Structure formats: structure tokens, C-alpha cells
Amino acid sequence: MRAAARRTVRDARLPSGPPLRPTRRAWQFDALVALVLGIATVYYGIDNVGIVVVREIAPGVEHVMERPSGPGGLAFMVTLAVIASGALALRRRYPLAVLCVVTAATLATPQSVLRLTFYAFVIAVYSAAVYSPYRVATLAALPVSVVLVGISGNSVTPIVPNQYIALLILVPMAVAAVGLRTWKLRTDEGRIRLSALEREQAEALRRAVEHERARIARELHDVVTHNVSVMVIQAGAARKIMKTSPEQAGEALLAVEAGGRAAMTELRHVMGLLTMADEGQGTNEGADLADTAAELAPQPGLDQLDTLVGRVRDTGLPVDLTVTGPPRPLSPGLELAAYRVVQEALTNTVKHASGATAAVTVEYGPDRLRVEVTDTGGRPGVGAATGSGRGLIGLRERLAVYDGTLNTGRRLTGGYRVEALIPLEAP
């Protein structure tokens, strides 16, 4: 019980959110409310000094209500009105403190002049309920304040003059109408901002996808260029030795045929990727490919995974490499895609899982290639920032060229897992 009580007291002192920072317009509005209510209540106090009110609370039963009189009574009522009304200028910034001050002023107000502070008390209760960040303390203070004000003094209900009845009906209706209109405008504005944010996110994702497609297309274009260059060399060699060494010329021509088939396959993948983008964007990408193809180096494949894993081990990350199934020759673009999956996954492990161990598995199946990279989990490295997700976007786009899929997520035993499944064409 004591521990629960201590937790309750501790929670009451902790804010559930940041304190409200009123805008300049909000400060001006609250100051205006405090000023208007202060003038009205001070005038009410001055106008009722020394007045004796006789109320008939039942047939033949009268109740005499004497209001404060003399200079002391006037000063007392003016002080209560100024304190209760003036505190409302801070009702958004310090709502709970304002509630306590106004409640104290209301309890000190004689029942015969309760209007001096009652309206300020209603506004203070509303402000505490809406603006206070100390939700536990507020939920405890509100009912206490209301009960104290309700049971203080005598139970005689003050009379509302007839000339104020229409005002008391119309003012809440006007406030409710203005509040409803403000809420509707803010809702519409929020909906517009949300739609704009969704469009911006969709546009950013589209640009990221187009950027990754262009980069992947450049790499695949380099693979095609490499194959065509080999074909040209083999064809030239076959032409020179065709008369003197027909057998070697035939072998060279077979190599040209194999290279041509590989180049056509890769070219088909490149064109399939480019047609997924907009027509105009594809044209621009084609121009970029023509300008940068000569600068691209030959792309790595699965035979270079040992080198990649060795470089990662040099950074201090233990990595195990396992290859299962009978290896078979694959197209250079497909091997490049599998290599990039391992490279991206190990890079993320180095950045975001310091102190972990990683495992790379390459499984050659009869109809698909499975590449999996797992780690045991760790802490983010020094200077590691939250990822933008573009790496995974690029991997998915790259695998989509070969109808492959990418599965990522956290492991039940801790750490992270990246798995790529790439269909293989029949040999």
C-alpha cells in the first residue's frame, strides 16, 4: 500500500506531456478575458456595498443576505475580484496554480456576493481540465475544488436577475458555435496537412525507387557491356585463327555464343527494369547510362563473398560464411544482386549491431538461390544514425528484376535477419 501511495504521489508530480507554450494571440485573449471579467466583478462589488437583500425562499419564509459594507468591505470585495479575475491571464501557462488561487478566492467570498469569483472559478476549472500537463494532480484537484466550493457557506442559491437570463443563455450558445466552427476549421486544416504529408512521403519514396532503379540499371548495363566486350575479343580471335586452328576457332565461337546469350539475358533484365519507370525518366536514365558506362568497373559476384566477409571481419565483426548445395554458374547480374544483399546486410550489422556476430548462408537449390544474413543483435555503433530505408528499397528493386523477394525482420532470439529468395532458370 505504501509503495502504491508513493507511486501515486510520484506520478502526480510528473507531467504527462510538455507544458503548453501559449501563442501571443492566446496571451492577448486571456489578458482580455481577465480584464473584462475583472472590470465587471469590481463594478459588481462597488455597486453592492452595504446592500441588504431579503429573499423569500418559501411561502412566508424570508432569508436576509447582508453584503459587506463600509470601506473595509469594499476593499475586501475588490481584492477578491482582482485576484480571481487577474489570475485568469495565466490560465493556459499555469492552469493548476490558477485553479488553486481562484478556488481559495472563491472559498473566501461571502455567499451574498458569490458572483465576485464564481465565474472566474468556472473558467479556472475548465482551463485546468483542458491545459494542465499534470493529469493525475488535475484529476485529484478538480473534484476537490468543486466539492469545497459547493459545500462552503449556506445552501441558499443566489438569484440571477431577470435581465441576465437571456445573456446567460445566448453567451454559452455563441461560445459553443464558435468552438464548433474552430474545431471544424482545425480538423479540415489537419486533414489537408495529413494529405500533403502523405503526398510528400509518396513522392520521396518514388524518387528513392527511381534513384535505385537508375543505379541498378547502370550496374547491369556494365555487366552487359562487359559480356559484349568479351564477345568482340573472342570473335576477333576466332577470325584470326579460323584457317590455321579451326578447333580453337570453334571454341572461341562457342564462347561468343555463350556470352551473347548471357548479354541478351542481362539486357532483357535491364530493359524490364527501365520500363517499370516513367517513360520520360527512362529516357533520362538511358542518357545517363551512355555517359557513365565507361566509368563503371566490373561488378562483383558470389565468388568474391570470401573477400567481402574478410573485409568485414577486419572491422571486428565475427562473420561465418556457409555455402550449401552444388554451386552452378549464374548470370552476372543475378550474382551481383545476391552479392549486394550480403554487402548491405553486413554493412547494417556493422553500423547498428556493434558487438554482435553474423552468419552468411548461401544455398543453391534446384530452382532457387537462397541468401540469408543473420546477426545476434548489439548496440548501435558510434555515430550511427537512424536508417532511411533506401538500402532495403534498393535491394527489393534489385531482386524484383529477377522476380526475387526480400524478407527482413527481427529474430525471436534477438538480432536481425535478411533473406533473399531468387528463382533460377533451368540450366
* pLDDT per residue as tens digits for the range 353-376: 878 899 999 999 988 999 999 998
| Amino acid at residue number 36 | V
CATH tag for 160-277 (out of 3.40.50.1010, 1.20.5.1930, 1.10.760.10, 3.40.50.11540): 1.20.5.1930
In what side-by-side order are the strands of the sheet with 416-423? 319-324, 358-364, 368-375, 416-423, 405-410
Instruction: Identify the residue with better confidence: 20 or 186.
Output: 186
Instruction: Identify the residue with better confidence: 231 or 311.
Output: 311
Report the CATH superfamily, name and number, of domain 302-423: Histidine kinase-like ATPase, C-terminal domain (3.30.565.10)
| Band of residue 117 on the pLDDT scale cut at 50, 70, 90 | confident
Residue 1: the pLDDT is 54
Judged by average pLDDT, the poorest of 82-91, 109-118, 240-249, 273-282 is: 273-282
pLDDT at 230 over 80: no
- Tell me the whole-structure pTM to 2 decimals: 0.41
- Residues 6 or more apart whose Cβ sits within 8 Å of residue 426: 367
Contact predicate 357/317, CB 8 Å: yes
Instruction: Identify the residue with better confidence: 54 or 184.
Output: 184
| Band of residue 7 on the pLDDT scale cut at 50, 70, 90 | low
Mean pLDDT value of segment 293-310: 70
* β-bridge pairing 358-364 and 52-58: unpaired
C-alpha cell at 337: 544482386
The yes-or-no answer to whether 160-277 and 302-423 have a common fold is: no
Contact predicate 273/401, CB 8 Å: yes
All structural domains of the chain with their residue ranges = 12-159, 160-277, 302-423
Tell me the C-alpha distance between 68 and 76, whole Å. 8
Residue 2: the pLDDT is 60
Measured in degrees and rounded to the nearest 5, phi and psi for residue 379 equal -100, 155
What is each CA distance from 72 to 38, 44, 58, 68, 366, in whole angstroms?
19, 16, 33, 8, 102
| Band of residue 12 on the pLDDT scale cut at 50, 70, 90 | low
